[in-house]
Amino acid sequence: ELLDWLFASEDPVVYVAYGTIVSKFLPGAFVSRVVEALDGGSWRVIMVVPDFLQKHVPSGLPPDRWRIESFAPQADILRCERTRCFISHCGANSTMEAMACGVPLVC
């Protein structure tokens, strides 16, 4: 279903994921600020947010522009030509996957 969503529009996609370890230590305010910063742009967003932090995601995000997931197939998302930016903690695996797929990283 997520991959279908990726191809449902020609708009570029920003992928946000901070890894399983780092995500355990993110404050809720950080999650809501990332959403606020990215909302309303000309891009769509896939953001991986652990279940315990999803209460900090603002309500009312348009489902055609936003996907909030507790898990996402990162390699598949990064291989998709619509993915234009990866906001990450820049761990070794995430960095290597992004580089291999040619997706710019924001750390």
User: What is the tens place of the pLDDT at every residue in 8-56?
Assistant: 999 999 999 998 788 778 888 899 999 999 999 999 999 999 999 999 9
- Decide: helix, strand or coil at residue 68: strand
Average pLDDT for the chain: 95
Are the C-beta atoms of 72 and 94 separated by less than 8 Å?
Answer: no
Cα angle 36-13-94, degrees, rounded to a multiple of 5: 90
Q: What is the pLDDT of residue 23?
A: 78
- Decide: helix, strand or coil at residue 19: coil
The model's pTM:
0.94
Domain that holds residue 29: 2-106
Number of domains into which the chain is organized: 1
CATH of the domain at 29: 3.40.50.2000
For residue 69, the cross-strand partners are: 48
32, 33, 56 from 27: Cα distances, Å:
9, 10, 9
Q: Nearest to residue 39, comparing CAs of 54, 56, 60, 19?
A: 60
